[in-house]
């Protein structure tokens, strides 16, 4: 099961990807979470990890042909069954841009062959080879969006690309409710051919800045947090059933 998490940078992709990875891992799936976002921080921060340069995503992409899957990812100390591939703090994003198509495809095939569930937190730009090939090789794509005019404009701009890559049928829209009210369904893009769900507003998520610990790992017992965790677990089970 290969799932790409895509959308406008800042839409909440990393939050959805990290929480969903926890949900799959808790259900017993051997799970790989890859942070391919180049400019908005690193997925490692969500789990209070520090990935070293020699075990980083950049190193894995450069050497995937001679590495095992275990060499390309780092086991998450706080979540059983979860391994993470992330850029290191010292990685140069300019160097990461030099990733070639064959490197990206080789890496994706390697982890798909060794993990039951692979989630790739994609960059918004399909010019990034890892993100583009993740989208085209996915069994399911989660398009993360918010009810805003910026999100609508982004979806409109990328509609020709979605059509050109022939990925519309794989798209499952995840709309993050901002708690402002109104009809959330008005902001569902691309016709939602693969279905859609609405993640409920949650204060812990709504007020987060940057990468924050997955809500699936917290012990918060308020009603909004419990509802969010339940919806995330339901989404994981739906994706697994349709895997």
Which stretch of 48-52, 163-167, 238-242 has the lowest confidence by average pLDDT?
A: 48-52
- What is the pLDDT at residue 230? 85
d(CA 91, CA 74): 16
Which stretch of 43-52, 90-99, 164-173 has the lowest confidence by average pLDDT?
A: 90-99
Task: Give how many domains the chain has, as a whole number.
Answer: 1
CATH of residue 95: 3.40.50.300
Where is 163: in which H helix or E strand?
helix 149-165
Looking at residue 56, what DSSP letter applies? S
Q: How distant, in Å, are the alpha carbons of 140, 142, 172 from that of 193?
A: 11, 12, 7
Cβ proximity of 144 and 10 under 8 Å: no
Q: Which residues contact 171 (CB under 8 A, 6 or more apart)?
A: 141, 143, 162, 190, 192, 193, 194
d(CA 84, CA 53): 14
Range of the domain at 147: 2-241
- What is the pLDDT at residue 33? 94
- What is the pLDDT at residue 208? 44
Q: Would you say residue 1 has pLDDT above 60? A: yes
Q: Is 6 helix (H, G, I), strand (E, B) or coil?
A: strand
Percent share of the chain, pLDDT over 70: 77
Output the CA angle 120-54-52, nearest 5 degrees.
75
Q: Would you say residue 159 has pLDDT above 90? A: no
Per residue in 217-241, pLDDT (tens digit) is 766 667 777 788 888 888 898 888 8
- What is the pLDDT at residue 29? 94
Give the DSSP letter string of 168-200: GGGEEEEEE--SS-S-GGGG--GGGTT-EEEEP
d(CA 243, CA 240): 5
Q: How distant, in Å, are the alpha carbons of 77, 170, 186 from that of 165?
A: 37, 11, 25
- Bridge partners for 142 per DSSP: 5, 172
Q: Which residues contact 44 (CB under 8 A, 6 or more apart)?
A: 35, 50, 51, 84, 86, 87, 88
């Amino acid at each position: 099961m290969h799932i790409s998490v895509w959308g406008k940078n800042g839409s909440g992709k990393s939050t959805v990807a990290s929480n969903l990875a926890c949900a799959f891992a808790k259900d017993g799936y051997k799970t790989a979470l890859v942070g391919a976002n180049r400019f908005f921080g690193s997925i490692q921060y969500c789990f209070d990890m520090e990935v070293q340069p020699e075990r980083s995503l950049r190193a894995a992409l450069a050497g995937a042909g001679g590495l095992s899957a275990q060499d390309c990812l780092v086991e998450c100390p706080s979540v059983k069954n979860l391994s993470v591939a992330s850029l290191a703090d010292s990685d140069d994003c300019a160097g990461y841009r030099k990733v070639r198509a064959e490197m990206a495809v080789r890496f994706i095939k390697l982890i798909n062959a060794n993990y039951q569930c692979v989630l790739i937190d994609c960059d918004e730009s399909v010019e990034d080879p890892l993100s583009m090939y993740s989208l085209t090789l996915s069994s399911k794509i989660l398009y993360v969006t918010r009810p805003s005019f910026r999100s609508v404009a982004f979806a409109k701009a990328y509609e020709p690309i979605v059509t050109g890559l022939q990925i519309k049928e794989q798209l499952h829209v995840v709309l993050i409710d901002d708690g402002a009210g109104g009809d959330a369904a008005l902001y569902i893009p691309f016709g939602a051919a693969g279905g859609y769900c609405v993640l409920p507003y949650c204060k812990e998520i709504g007020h987060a800045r940057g990468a924050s610990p997955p809500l699936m790992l917290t012990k918060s017992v308020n009603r909004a947090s419990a509802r969010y965790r339940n919806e995330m677990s339901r989404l994981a089970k739906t994706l697994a059933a349709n895997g």
